[in-house]
Structure 1
Amino acid sequence: MVLSVQLRGSIFLVVTVCLLVVGICAPFSGHDLQRVMQIAIGFCAVLYGSSITPTEPWVDRQTAWGLALIVGLGLASSLLAHQPLWALTEMALFVSSAAIALAFASLRRYGGEPLDRVLLLIVVLLCLIKTLQYLYAGVLAFASGGHTMNPDLLLSSFSNKRFYGQFQTFTLPLLALPLLLPTVSRSLRGMAFALLCAWWLIAISGGTRGTWLGMAVAGMVVALIGPWGRRWLGWQLAGMLSGLWIYWLLFTVLATYLGIDTSNDASDRLTTSLSGRGPIWWQGWHMLTERPWLGFGPMHFADIANKVAAHPHQAVLQWASEWGVPSTLCVAFLAARSGWATIVVLRERAQFSERADLLRLCLFAALVGALTQSMVDGVLVMPTSQVWLALVVGWLMALHPWRTPVTASWPLAWRAWKLLSALAIALLVFVALRDVPHIKQAQRQYLDTLGSYLQPRFWAQGVIAR
């Protein structure tokens, strides 16, 4: 039985890695392909999750009842929404993300510590491919003989550089793990630091202020946890300063020597402007005050057309305006409760240098950075970010030790969850099969009649207002 579970987990992992490589690294990738990738991963996660029977519950009763309340409130909000099908589709994304998190948690629980190495290798592989793509594009740009250069054009596979920055917010903390492990050789440590510097170079070049803010808050939080947190912060600062120095050499010294003018310089992003967020924040606030109890319905910020975006670029405001204030308070309570439980474990094991303890620290830093960035960006909206958020949460769940004696699982609750996750992924597959064949035509029609650029939400053209 254990072997068969491990085999199914290996298949799920291989398929997921292949989908991540295509969605994140393929030059032709973008928002719509990444959404399809997310649905495919969710489908695999539901299949894998339904094939195993947990011997103990993943969450305690208070958390389980809180999640059930969120689902119930979301269902009521969806049924009362202007477009119930789209609202239920957003709910299905929430459920499928939870299914992905549980699949990764189960994978780590049954696979044990060797899978921590696999996770690190996956992160290194993805970041290495993206770094090579960036350097190759940079070489071509410098050798082209042009008089101007836009560093934004060196970024690939993401329809917006902020989405690229969200991916970096999840992976920058994990790239520091080899630098913390005492058993890593000096040569491997040097290569790991070189990759970290290159990844910071891309983060600086991309100019995503949400990534900078998220990493700054994550650094301050983990530095208070213990000596390993401060060491993690030290490596990140060294990587950031090295990346900044390389950026200056490339885009100032070398560009000036070759007579190339640089547009969209990273220094131009060092502002306190809201970048158009003011109007959409006001829209979210008005929606919240108009319907505080159940909101307008999941995804229904996109049902009120505006000239800026199909989501408010602020996680709390988005959830409150669409799902309602009671659901938002429940989510905030569960997030704070889970975060505090993780901090307690990190503080208790602050002096330990086992791989699992150091990985827990890096995962927690990634989670803090991503949640911070979600206060100013669409981390809870973009497909790649949703997958990585589920991965980080699921791995942290698997690493978390139970404080109480292990109890038996809840068979009825598990069967209800399997039914709910199956219905959710079935709805997502239905929406994908319905929309993907006509998605380019719908985008052209929108651009020709309603807007000058696409506003991503579920699809790259995310406005659902009729």
Structure 2
Amino acid sequence: MDYMKCLSSADRKPRLVPMWSSAFGVIALLAVAFYLVFMPKLPALPLYGNYNHQRLFVLLLLVAICGLTLGRGATRKDWLQLYFFLSMRTRMLLLALLLVGVCSSVLAVYPWFALLEVAHFALMFLAAVSLAVIRVNLGSLFDRLLAVTMVLVGGVYLLIYSAGYYWAAVSYDFDLSLVHKLLFNSFSNVRFFSQWQSWTLPLMVLPLLLVRRACPWRLALLLPAAGWWLLLFMTATRGTTLGCMVAVVLTLLFYRRQALPWLRWHLLAMVSGLAAYLTLHYGLPLMLVGKPAVVESVFDRALSGLSGREPLWSEAWEMTVSHPLLGVGPMHYADYAMGVAAHPHNALLQISAEWGVPALLIVLALFSLGLVLWLRNDYGVGKGEDETARLRPALFAALITAAVHSLFSGIIVMPISQLMMTLVLGWMLGIAYIESPKLEVGAVEASSHSPRAHFFVLLFFTLVLLGIAKPLSVQIPILERVHQEYREESLLEPVGYFRPRFWLQGYPALYDQEKNHVVIAD
């Protein structure tokens, strides 16, 4: 098996379960891949908009991943083994964060709405560890399935772009606003697509890192990656661009020569995408119709300025100052800043305002411990034949790109971005587990056999599901009506200026079962 090639060192952990048991992991991974590839063409459910149906699909995916892993004794033991692989300090911090979130929710204006976010983040954690289990059991097959997924994702969008561009050029004199709508009509806001790009841009060249050099069609794999960059220039998203720049610098700093194979393909894809963008959006239209065909370009936007984020950040800071210990409650920025936005477009300010300063410190500590866990096992530097060694810079860059972008956007809020966060973190945890010394891994095996541990993880999963099901049982029946009434009372066009959070309209008050006809604030 190729999996065993990845574990060439004698002190690596062998496969956790027999290969036949990995079928459930393949099913879960294929479900994620199917969603990512075909999401642009999935029909919207009758719950008012693509955003809400993305939320429901992602929620079902996360529940299915956890259910397939925790529902069986063998894989549940593997899940516990991955969990106890985390240091005691990390586990205590996770528990503290959960307790802070629950306490903040109980004291919030809308407790069940707040608990919904806490339970959802807990579900994401359960799913991330479940995906780590799948990565360990499938080995390099996991990497290759997701590499193929990246090719298909980029390929689908490249085909849509090509068809739309030809249509716009021939029939509408290069009016590429039509292409813009065709590409991004599955997203309530084009920035949600950009958040997805922040997680995936560094990963788009994974196929080029994994295929053999002698492969005659290897360069063809560059096309989807270049097309993905072209779309970034087309959307003019500065947060993703800045995140990519910071990620390149930090990846080179930490990985040095090991980063060069990834960096060469990454930069080549970027240059190719930029060349295609300049040719198709400037050069060709100038030659044929005498003007560039640009909807909005990253070159046209100011390189400085926060695009109106200052009031959002100011609101979040005021909430932090007035509620420093437990915040105003998870998802309650939307309630306190009603009429402005449902989140402050900054992950750190969002956590401090809604969960409190202690929660922010815990999150920063967990992020730091995660980076230490990831970077300390980079002793595979220079092993060019090791597939995992070639993957590590790309995964690190994806995490950094998204982390930087989260300082200017709602990456930790939006459904597709949350799915990618769960996937990337689980992927990284699985690799970190495999590459840990055998002695360290063996020390946690005994804990995974404890019947008490099995009982508590099932109990926790059940409580998480109840924490999600209870508020959804109230919200889903009125979901379409809430959005329709808000649109009519606000005199907005369909899918107009909603404030997305958990749902497309993120104001908690609108879902309160005792006052569903709240007056919309000016």
Q: With structure 2 as the length reference, what TM-score do the two structures score? A: 0.84
| Structure 1 residue 155 corresponds to structure 2 residue 171 | no
SS at match of 2:77: coil
Q: Deviations over 1:427-466 (max 9, x none)?
A: 4345445434543332121122247411110011112245
Of the three residues 280, 302, 310, the one matched with 1:250 is: 280
CA distance in 2, matches of 1:242, 1:222: 21
Q: Report the CA distance between 1:154 and its aligned residue.
A: 4.3
- More off after superposition, 302-311 vs 155-164: 302-311
Of the three residues 62, 85, 88, the one matched with 1:42 is: 62
Partner of 2:462: 422
Equivalent residues of 1:93, 1:428 under 8 A apart: yes
Q: Deviations over 1:111-146 (max 9, x none)?
A: 222222112112222221122122222222222225
Partner of 1:409: 447
Partner of 2:259: 229
Q: Deviations over 1:20-79 (max 9, x none)?
A: 344355375721111011111121022122122325224121111111111011111110
Q: Percent of aligned positions with the same letter in both sequences? A: 32
Q: Report the CA distance between 1:414 and its aligned residue.
A: 4.6
| Structure 1 residue 462 corresponds to structure 2 residue 489 | no
Equivalent residues of 1:31, 1:460 under 8 A apart: yes
Call closer, same or farther: CA 1:106–1:405 in 2, change over 3 Å. closer
Of the three residues 304, 318, 323, the one matched with 2:355 is: 323
Q: Which amino acid aligns with 1:439?
A: L
SS at match of 1:266: coil
| Structure 1 residue 110 corresponds to structure 2 residue 153 | no
Q: Report the CA distance between 1:94 and its aligned residue.
A: 0.3
Q: Report the CA distance between 1:226 and its aligned residue.
A: 1.8
Call closer, same or farther: CA 1:451–1:83 in 2, change over 3 Å. farther
Equivalent residues of 1:34, 1:383 under 8 A apart: yes
Q: Deviations over 1:376-433 (max 9, x none)?
A: 1111000010111111010111101335252222533453233222222344345445
- More off after superposition, 433-442 vs 136-145: 433-442
Equivalent residues of 2:405, 2:411 under 8 A apart: yes
| Structure 1 residue 70 corresponds to structure 2 residue 97 | yes
Call closer, same or farther: CA 1:241–1:21 in 2, change over 3 Å. closer
Of the three residues 142, 148, 170, the one matched with 2:169 is: 142
CA distance in 1, matches of 2:214, 2:381: 23
Q: Which has the larger radius of gyration?
A: 2
Partner of 2:197: 168
Residue correspondence of structure 1 range 5-404 to structure 2 within 5 A: 5-26=21-42, 28=44, 30-50=50-70, 51=72, 52-55=75-78, 56=81, 57-146=84-173, 148-150=175-177, 152-156=180-184, 157-181=186-210, 183-224=212-253, 225-259=255-289, 261-346=293-378, 348-353=379-384, 354-400=386-432, 401-403=435-437, 404=440
Q: Report the CA distance between 1:162 and its aligned residue.
A: 1.1
Equivalent residues of 1:176, 1:236 under 8 A apart: yes
Q: Which amino acid aligns with 1:161?
A: V
Q: Deviations over 1:155-212 (max 9, x none)?
A: 2222211111111121111122233347243533211222211111111111111110
Q: Report the CA distance between 1:358 and its aligned residue.
A: 1.3
CA distance in 1, matches of 2:407, 2:117: 19
SS at match of 1:35: helix
In the alignment, structure 1 segments of 5+ residues that lack a partner are: none
CA distance in 2, matches of 1:247, 1:14: 32
CA distance in 2, matches of 1:193, 1:326: 45
CA distance in 2, matches of 1:318, 1:149: 35
Call closer, same or farther: CA 1:147–1:339 in 2, change over 3 Å. closer
SS at match of 1:262: coil
Q: Deviations over 1:302-324 (max 9, x none)?
A: 11244442001101110111111
Equivalent residues of 1:293, 1:326 under 8 A apart: yes
Q: State the number of aligned residues.
A: 465
CA distance in 2, matches of 1:413, 1:286: 42
Q: Which amino acid aligns with 1:249?
A: T
Equivalent residues of 1:255, 1:262 under 8 A apart: no
CA distance in 2, matches of 1:22, 1:178: 19
Equivalent residues of 1:25, 1:130 under 8 A apart: no
- More off after superposition, 445-454 vs 79-88: 445-454
Q: With structure 1 as the length reference, what TM-score do the two structures score? A: 0.93
CA distance in 2, matches of 1:3, 1:283: 52
CA distance in 2, matches of 1:11, 1:182: 23
CA distance in 1, matches of 2:210, 2:142: 16
SS at match of 2:500: coil
CA distance in 1, matches of 2:68, 2:174: 53
- More off after superposition, 320-329 vs 442-451: 442-451
Equivalent residues of 2:225, 2:269 under 8 A apart: yes
